């Protein structure tokens, strides 16, 4: 049984504990305990997809360490994404579609998608315990800088869903990075990379990746040496390698997100090799 199956089995909130376990408990209660005759049978109006009937699965007594990390990452991703969407006072359709697109990339359907949608909504609720959620995420990720960086990258893509990073979103992301104890300047580097990735994704298939975007994706300056460029490429590929991230606790459902990242990193390196004649 997958970790998501165990979540839907109902044991996860008790096994994980803390604010993340409480979020899952609330989400399960809202999604599965309310009969359709009382209004619980309709999909969240923020999303375009109809909900499938939930599958109630048997749950184990315990979760192993990787399942705990996977569950914490999944829960925090969608809940904090919802909180970030509300940072500027209202949630736009672009931000809702971005959340839905992440769910599509993870191929979440039925009960799994319901859970992600409910977590997104819980993150928008007043009194969301953002600090406690981030503290627990950091612990459950066993302080893995690669997982935490991937978490912030996903949030940045969500913040840029409407084409720009608003000041309130930027301020919240700064506080998130500080709470996760990322190095000073890391948000600037990640933001430049995400901006370049989004710009590259928005181009036509026939458009060549610009050198400027390629440097930003690899996180290096245009003045870097060829050796520095190669080291940056290897470092970025190692940081985003799907199998390595899953081994550290990235949910398997997010492998496609990591795979897309590695494809963009390789494309950026190939572009710069072409520019430099390597």
Question: Can you give the pLDDT at residue 31?
Answer: 39
Question: Can you give the pLDDT at residue 170?
Answer: 93
Total domains, the chain: 1
Question: Can you give the pLDDT at residue 203?
Answer: 55
Tokens of 86: 């509300």
Q: Cα(230)–Cα(186) distance, rounded to whole angstroms? A: 20
Residue 56 lies in a domain: no
Judge whether 157 and 98 are in contact, CB under 8 Å.
Answer: yes
Question: Can you give the pLDDT at residue 7?
Answer: 64
Residue 58 lies in a domain: no
Residue 193 lies in a domain: yes
Q: Cα(97)–Cα(162) distance, rounded to whole angstroms? A: 10
Q: How far is CA 191 from CA 9, 22, 39, 75, 156, in A?
A: 37, 31, 41, 23, 7
Q: Cα(246)–Cα(70) distance, rounded to whole angstroms? A: 8
**Which domain does 252 fall in, by range?**
3-49+64-276
* CA 119 to the chain's CA centroid: 13
Question: Can you give the pLDDT at residue 12?
Answer: 54
Q: Cα(21)–Cα(7) distance, rounded to whole angstroms? A: 10
Residue 55 lies in a domain: no
Residue 136 lies in a domain: yes
How many other CB atoms are there within 10 angstroms of residue 228's CB atom? 13
Residue 59 lies in a domain: no
Judge whether 158 and 263 are in contact, CB under 8 Å.
Answer: no
Residue 227 lies in a domain: yes
pLDDT in tens, the chain (278 residues): 466 666 665 555 556 778 888 888 888 774 333 333 333 333 344 433 332 333 323 334 455 778 888 889 999 999 999 999 888 777 777 778 878 887 887 778 888 888 889 899 999 888 999 999 999 999 998 878 889 999 999 999 888 877 788 889 999 999 999 999 999 889 999 999 888 888 877 754 545 788 999 999 999 999 999 999 999 999 999 988 888 888 888 887 788 888 888 999 999 999 999 999 88
Residue 27 lies in a domain: yes
């Amino acid at each position: 049984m997958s970790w998501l199956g165990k979540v839907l089995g109902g044991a996860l909130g008790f096994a994980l504990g803390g604010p993340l376990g409480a979020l899952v408990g609330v989400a399960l209660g809202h999604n599965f305990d309310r009969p359709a005759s009382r209004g619980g049978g309709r999909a969240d109006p923020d999303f375009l997809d109809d909900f499938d009937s939930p599958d109630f699965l048997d749950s184990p007594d315990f979760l192993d360490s990787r399942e705990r990390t996977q569950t914490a990452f999944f829960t925090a991703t969608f809940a904090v994404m919802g909180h970030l969407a509300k940072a500027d006072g209202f949630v736009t359709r672009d931000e809702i579609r971005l959340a839905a697109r992440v769910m599509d990339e993870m191929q979440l359907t039925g009960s799994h998608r319901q859970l992600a949608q409910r977590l997104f909504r819980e993150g928008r609720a007043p009194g969301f315990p953002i600090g406690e959620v981030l503290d627990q995420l950091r612990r459950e990720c066993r302080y893995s800088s690669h997982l935490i960086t991937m978490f912030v990258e996903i949030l940045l893509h969500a913040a840029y869903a409407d084409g720009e990073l608003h000041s309130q979103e930027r301020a919240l992301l700064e506080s998130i990075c500080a709470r996760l104890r990322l190095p000073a300047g890391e948000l600037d580097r990640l933001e430049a990379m995400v901006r370049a990735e989004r710009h590259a994704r928005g181009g036509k298939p026939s458009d060549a990746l610009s050198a400027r975007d390629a440097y930003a994706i690899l996180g290096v300056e245009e003045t870097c040496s060829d050796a520095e460029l190669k080291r940056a490429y290897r470092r970025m590929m190692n940081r985003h390698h799907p199998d390595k991230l899953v081994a550290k606790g990235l949910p398997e459902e997010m492998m496609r997100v990591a795979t897309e990242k590695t494809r963009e990193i390789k494309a950026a390196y190939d572009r710069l090799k072409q520019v430099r004649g390597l």
